[in-house]
Amino acid sequence: MIHEVERKSSELINIIKNGIISIDVVYRHGPSLYFYSKTINRRRQTPKIEKFLKDEYNIELLYATLVSWDMNSRGAKMKDFSDFKSNIQSNIDTFISLEKKSKNILTTDLKDIQELLTSLYNGLSLMVTNQRLVSNSKLLHFLFPDLLMPMDGKNTLLFCYGNTSESIHKYLDILGMSFDIARKEIDWTTIVVNDDKLWNRSIPKVIDNAILLYNE
């Protein structure tokens, strides 16, 4: 389990309630926010996952957004676009099943979708290396922005575990923490914004932003 999970969660909740707006001051904008906003907007405009993933432009957006989120730098190397596209579309049936069993982080029971998330975690192979947690969690967030939280090694894994080793168990544990935080007494309506120029676009992203601010 996540190290000192209750204390860590309390610290994140405090940031969310009292300082989350500062993410737009301290965190980068530029291509990473531009492509992220474009991808989130396209996904919300195309609520059916099957239709979204059968549009090649959307796959290109996912690819570009992952690149802008450092998935092809600092030693990370993504697969060529054709392989990337093929791998994502080979998992469409599982994406559809996940869509049918979930809505958002506030109304979905994580236990109901763990098997599907495990299947997607193991089935998605976006990187040249064998690493999965960071790339898969980011992609899954782009596809289900109101349900699943993005993760990385430098911030998320170090915050939760003190190391950057990956596993499906860590992925599910961190999601469990995010689902618990989402259900705390937080007025999300005053925090989540619908603005292309701001980062707090969904509850899962707000929780991720709190971790980024904690590490500042």
Domain ranges of the chain: 5-214
- 205 pLDDT exceeds 80? yes
Q: Is 171 left (phi over 0), alpha (psi -120 to 50) or beta?
A: alpha
- 41 pLDDT exceeds 70? yes
Residue 1 confidence class, pLDDT cut points 50, 70, 90: low
Please report the pLDDT score of residue 15 as a whole number.
Answer: 97
Cα–Cα distance between 186 and 133 in angstroms, integer? 28
Average pLDDT of the segment spanning 115-131: 96
Q: 138 to each of 6, 11, 23, 125, how far by Cα in Å? A: 24, 23, 18, 13
pLDDT in tens, 139-176: 999 999 999 999 999 999 999 999 999 999 999 999 99
pLDDT in tens, 58-111: 999 999 999 999 999 878 899 999 999 999 999 999 999 999 999 999 999 999
What the block records as the tokens of 130 is: 């064998």
Please report the pLDDT score of residue 165 as a whole number.
Answer: 95
Cα–Cα distance between 149 and 139 in angstroms, integer? 10
Angle value at C-alpha 107, between 110 and 66, nearest 5 degrees: 65
Half-sphere exposure in the Cβ direction for 188 (13 Å, CA): 17
Please report the pLDDT score of residue 215 as a whole number.
Answer: 87
Amino acid at 204: P
Cα–Cα distance between 54 and 41 in angstroms, integer? 17
pLDDT in tens, 2-37: 777 788 899 999 999 999 999 999 998 999 999 999
Residue 126 confidence class, pLDDT cut points 50, 70, 90: very high
